[in-house]
Amino acid sequence: MPAPVLYLSHGAPPLADDARWTRELADWSATIERPKDILMVSAHWEAAPVALSSTTGAPLLYDFWGFPQRYYEVTYDAPGAPELAQSVAGLLSGAGESRHQDPSRGLDHGAYVPLMAMYPEADVPVLQLSLPTLDPEALLALGAALRPLRDEGVLIVGSGFMTHGLPFLREFVLDAPPPEWSRDFDRWAAAALSRHDVAALVRFREVPSARFAHPTVEHFAPLFVALGAAEPGAPMAAPVTGYWLGLSKRSVQFA
């Protein structure tokens, strides 16, 4: 069986302190056959042409500001994935995509924060891939080009946030009630995903609540890489739902 494809809401560094969410992620990973490698596509790395992260152990990228010092001392020493990098490069070349290797680029928090909960032993090789564009159609094509990796046991993970309207939050409390725009967009996305309506998802900006849920769209964009890597109409499950700071943490798995 090919490895599944995931889109997950990754949270900020304090996710590591949220016992419920980390347990949800850990329980989720326990249902997935141990992957040979993990290919992460995070909202926090936009670079064109497509770029690949270090395969030789570059330090983590603490790409956040204003948090307590302990969040800048976290480590996640997953092995590099040079063979996966070669496979990705070959697939992208075959699809006519330019790409380059960034040997100084370590994993950002969109990659290592959820992986700390899902694979805490840091014993699965990880490679990160940049978002070369935010165009949904182009990202669907990118995901489709990467689909053969699943037959090699590679877990492809798009890491974003189902709603990410930080400028419109009124209180930064973990269990704050979700604003109506967050609930509305989450309901819409859940319905579109359940009926495999990729065309509607591509047009997500037309949803009235999208202007609040995604004032910038980089946290929704990894979903399209995941959708492209999944087989059309593949069974979909949502192992993680609910809200964090009022933002939807809905995360999905495509078989």
pLDDT digit string (tens) for 41-90? 999 999 999 999 998 878 898 988 888 899 899 999 999 999 999 999 99
Q: What are phi and psi of 215, to 5 degrees?
A: -60, -30
Question: Model confidence at 102, in pLDDT bands (50, 70, 90)?
Answer: confident
Identify the band that residue 96 occupies on the pLDDT scale cut at 50, 70 and 90: low
- Torsions phi, psi for 91 (to 5 deg): -65, -40
CA 239, CA 110: separation in Å to the nearest integer? 18
In this structure, what token pair is assigned to residue 22?
């980390």
**Alpha-carbon distances of 23 from 18, 19, 116, 175, 215, rounded to whole Å:** 8, 6, 11, 16, 29
pLDDT of residue 170: 80
Quickly state the pLDDT bin for 104 (edges 50, 70, 90).
confident
Per-residue model confidence (pLDDT) at position 95:
65
What would the two tokens of residue 45 be?
């790395």
Residue 87, C-beta contacts closer than 8 angstroms, at least 6 positions apart: 149, 152, 154
Range with the poorest average pLDDT among 9-13, 170-174, 202-206, 227-231: 170-174
Average pLDDT over residues 95-122: 88
Residue entry with tokens 């999208």: 210
Strand 37-46 relative to strand 154-160, pairing = parallel
pLDDT score of 98: 65
Q: What pTM, to 2 d.p., does this model score?
A: 0.95
User: What does the mean pLDDT of the chain come to?
Assistant: 93
